[in-house]
Amino acid sequence: MTDQPSINSVSEGMGLEIFDGAQGRQRRPRPALTHREAAREIPVFSETDVLVIGGGPSGTSAAVAAAKLGADVTLVERYNHLGGLSTGGLVIWIDRMSDWSGTQVISGFARDVFDRLPKEAVLGPPRSEWGSKDAAITDYWSYRSAAFQGVVTWSPTIDPEALKTLSMQMMVENKIRLVLHALAVEPIMDGNVMTGAIFESKEGRQAIRAKVVIDTTGDADMLARAGAKSDSDIDTSDIHHCINTAFMLGGVDMERWTEFRRTNSAGFADFMKRGRDRLKFFEKPFFSWRSDIGLFMGPRLSGYSAIDVEDLTEVELKSRQLAVKHLEIYRTEAPGFENAFLLLGAPQVGVRHSRRFAAERMVTRKQWDEGTVWDDEVGVSTSLAPKWKNISVPYGSLLPSGLEGALGAGRHVACDASSHTFLREVPQCWMTGQAAGVAGALAANAGIAPRRVEPRAIQRELLRQGAYLSPSIVAAAEPTASAAE
């Protein structure tokens, strides 16, 4: 059986779960009461140029990009590691950075990461194979997450611990003030200008004052609490509304499992059907960076809100139950899984979507067909299928409507629900994060609002940092350099 993912499941394989709404769950009623919190003086922890809140893919790239411009940067992260879902969420399949012709369009920070990760921490096709349509090569990589629609793409799987280590190293090298175990809880506002944030830690409640705040929480926590409008509509034909906690099974033989899938399509289909009959939500494993570890980025649940604490709790309970049952079924029935054990349940819940903040400009489905290249482009994404051109991402989509002093990047970037399908992916989060970091530092350094930063200045700095932009934008941003070529 071939496993070319459908357009709707291009990054996460086959088997869309049906959106099943609230599923009629019972929850205990909450009392219709409020509690008045006392006002109090709290210590100022620090004053900084650029405050980045959330150390996932978008936050780490934002912090590094801003620091490269000499800004004093503080990064606040609620957990003990960096990388967000790409490490703690076990989303170790870093989706497409190359376009359908094999050109690496998500570069800059993304390229720096892969230039530096140890070789043994990465499983992916060599550069010479990106864009290849050779049947044997695509067949090989289609089982290892790096060929879609008959084209080999640069979408490797990685060792999450190696990325955690590298991310920390980057903080140290760039003299970024890293504050771990710190949950940002409230923006500090001066009218509609965000001037910092309050965070909670074991020390209690403290404030950080900043010239520019970049929200990279994935859920637009700070922007929402500052009153920014957001969209939360979903594309029910896609999986971007699904939520689950991923897990890895160790002690497996993925080569044997893959051989079974390739050579016994009826057996594979029958196995998957039996699993679905027993569990309803049943997943197949993805190749990780090692053949003795199988990655499960599901089972995908739906109808839950990622910003509702009781839903999050229920997702953890169900995900855990399903992980244990998967282990049971795979151990007894799946070739290569006889000695499997539950290696790790992800430390971070896998949220694909909660809020997308509203902005004046954004990528929409209409743009895919029109092939728009925004004059304020700050990045280029691969499209979902070869029939569409690359997708130009505007600076305007990082500027929340009605708010000043703040930028947003990563999973909650402004876009429509269909475009969120790919703009939420790890490389795209690196890309918007890097752009936000550059813009934030330029604003802080010049003492102006992020909205007033010249897009050309951002583009020039992004190019200097190795990012990819559309050829027409490169020519406009660097006319002399282009003319000399």
Ligand X SMILES: Cc1cc2nc3c(=O)[nH]c(=O)nc-3n(C[C@H](O)[C@H](O)[C@H](O)COP(=O)(O)OP(=O)(O)OC[C@H]3O[C@@H](n4cnc5c(N)ncnc54)[C@H](O)[C@@H]3O)c2cc1C
Closer CB to ligand X, 146 or 426, in the complex: 426
Span 279-298, contacts to ligand X by CB under 6 A: 297
Instruction: Tell me if 86 contacts ligand X by CB under 6 A.
Output: yes
Phi-psi region of 111 (alpha: psi -120 to 50; beta: other; left: phi over 0): alpha
Instruction: Tell me if 53 contacts ligand X by CB under 6 A.
Output: yes
CA pair distance 352, 301, nearest whole angstrom = 11
Q: Looking at 63, 67, 76, 194, which residue binds ligand X (CB under 6 A)?
A: 76
Judged by CB under 6 A, the stretch of 27-35, 91-99, 317-325, 439-447 that binds ligand X is 91-99
Q: How many residues bind ligand X (CB under 6 A)?
A: 40
Residue 97 CB, shortest distance to ligand X, in Å, is 9
Closer CB to ligand X, 263 or 321, in the complex: 321
Q: 238, 472, 285: which is closest to 374 by C-alpha?
A: 472
Q: Looking at 17, 129, 159, 221, which residue binds ligand X (CB under 6 A)?
A: 221
Instruction: Tell me if 345 contacts ligand X by CB under 6 A.
Output: no
CA pair distance 165, 56, nearest whole angstrom = 13
Q: Looking at 5, 57, 125, 299, which residue binds ligand X (CB under 6 A)?
A: 57
Instruction: Tell me if 79 contacts ligand X by CB under 6 A.
Output: yes
Closer CB to ligand X, 88 or 102, in the complex: 88
CA pair distance 219, 356, nearest whole angstrom = 8
Output the residue with the shortest Cβ distance to ligand X: 56
Span 129-148, contacts to ligand X by CB under 6 A: none
Closer CB to ligand X, 59 or 450, in the complex: 59
Q: Looking at 45, 93, 141, 296, which residue binds ligand X (CB under 6 A)?
A: 93
Give me the residue label for tokens 């349509």.
133
Please enumerate in sequence order all residues whose Cβ is within 8 A of that of 448, keeping only pairs 6 or more positions apart, or say none. Answer: none
Judged by CB under 6 A, the stretch of 93-101, 116-124, 394-402, 453-461 that binds ligand X is 93-101
Instruction: Tell me if 51 contacts ligand X by CB under 6 A.
Output: no
Instruction: Tell me if 405 contacts ligand X by CB under 6 A.
Output: no
Instruction: Tell me if 419 contacts ligand X by CB under 6 A.
Output: no
Instruction: Tell me if 17 contacts ligand X by CB under 6 A.
Output: no
Instruction: Tell me if 216 contacts ligand X by CB under 6 A.
Output: yes
Draw the binding track, 296-325, toward ligand X (x: CB under 6 A; -: no contact). -x----------------------------
Residue count of the chain, please give it: 485
Instruction: Tell me if 94 contacts ligand X by CB under 6 A.
Output: yes
Closer CB to ligand X, 180 or 449, in the complex: 180
Is 426 in contact with 454 (CB distance < 8 Å)?
Answer: no
Closer CB to ligand X, 84 or 335, in the complex: 84
Instruction: Tell me if 11 contacts ligand X by CB under 6 A.
Output: yes
Instruction: Tell me if 354 contacts ligand X by CB under 6 A.
Output: no
Instruction: Tell me if 411 contacts ligand X by CB under 6 A.
Output: yes
Give me the residue label for tokens 């304020």.
376
Q: Looking at 10, 45, 52, 58, which residue binds ligand X (CB under 6 A)?
A: 58
Q: Looking at 7, 168, 180, 183, which residue binds ligand X (CB under 6 A)?
A: 183
Judged by CB under 6 A, the stretch of 72-80, 325-333, 397-405, 463-471 that binds ligand X is 72-80
Closer CB to ligand X, 261 or 352, in the complex: 352
Kindly list the residues in this chain that would bind ligand X in the complex (CB under 6 A).
Answer: 11-12, 53-59, 76-79, 84-86, 89, 91, 93-95, 183-184, 216-218, 221, 244, 246, 297, 350-352, 410-411, 424-427, 429
